[in-house]
Amino acid sequence: MKMGKLMDVGTMENYYEQIVVKKMAQSKKIMIVIGFIMLVLVIVVSIAFSAAIPPLTVVAVAAFIGCGYLIYHIISNLKVEYEYTFVGGEMRVERIKRQIKRKKVCAFDVKAVDDLGKYNNPETGERNVDIKKHELVLRAESDDMNPDTYYVVIHDKIRHKPAVLIFNPDKTTLEKIRPFLSIALKKKFLNIQNDEKKAQSKTETKKEA
């Protein structure tokens, strides 16, 4: 399964940024299709009424412009990106809409992370973490069904609450945060990497066979 578009925008020893584009849900795609159908219907009805009753032409044009703007507003707000910024042991996550509107999702010290792991179990497909047990669930992933989706239990500096963050760190992001993890989490992280290598090796062996 392919991950949502990722783009690396900067790398330094103690600084790194990663952009993750949110994959559009099927329900949102349906909303767009319905919106376009409504717009076409408005155009057809507007032409019919304005031809039959000329004074309604102004109303028809206004309705057409209004529907067009509404559809544009819906589509533009569906474009969501997440920016992960690693700065000297701190991770900041922001949600970006229409590439202009920013909202802080969370900020946390990597040293204070309580747990980290793959969000989905690759063998069973089940979740590796019960998010219902967490009071605050923060989502900043391209697609939660992606095999490269991770969860991390943090202490959010913005809300000053413990939380679980669901996100899609790339290899560089993971390498940046690894040195700041506790010894136990470093071992867990190493086990995750080893399991990935074994799984990849099995897949390659099956393809060759």
Domain count of the fold of the chain: 1
Flag whether 108 is in a domain: yes
Spatial contact of 6 and 18, defined as CB atoms under 8 Å apart = yes
| pTM passes above 0.85 | no
What pLDDT score was predicted for residue 9?
Answer: 45
Q: By C-alpha distance, which of 59, 91, 62 is closest to 157? A: 91
Flag whether 102 is in a domain: yes
| Type of residue at 36 | F
Q: How far apart are CA 74 and CA 162, in angstroms?
A: 33
Flag whether 125 is in a domain: yes
Q: How far separated are the first and last CA of the chain, in Å rounded?
A: 22
What pLDDT score was predicted for residue 114?
Answer: 96
What pLDDT score was predicted for residue 87?
Answer: 95
What is the domain extent for residue 149?
A: 6-25+79-208
What pLDDT score was predicted for residue 78?
Answer: 73
Q: By C-alpha distance, which of 24, 68, 19 is closest to 43? A: 68
What pLDDT score was predicted for residue 8?
Answer: 45
Q: What is the mean pLDDT of each run of 10 residues along the chain (209 residues)?
A: 43 83 73 71 70 67 72 73 95 90 95 95 84 93 86 96 96 94 94 82 67
What pLDDT score was predicted for residue 203?
Answer: 66
Q: By C-alpha distance, which of 157, 159, 36, 9 is closest to 96? A: 9
Flag whether 41 is in a domain: no
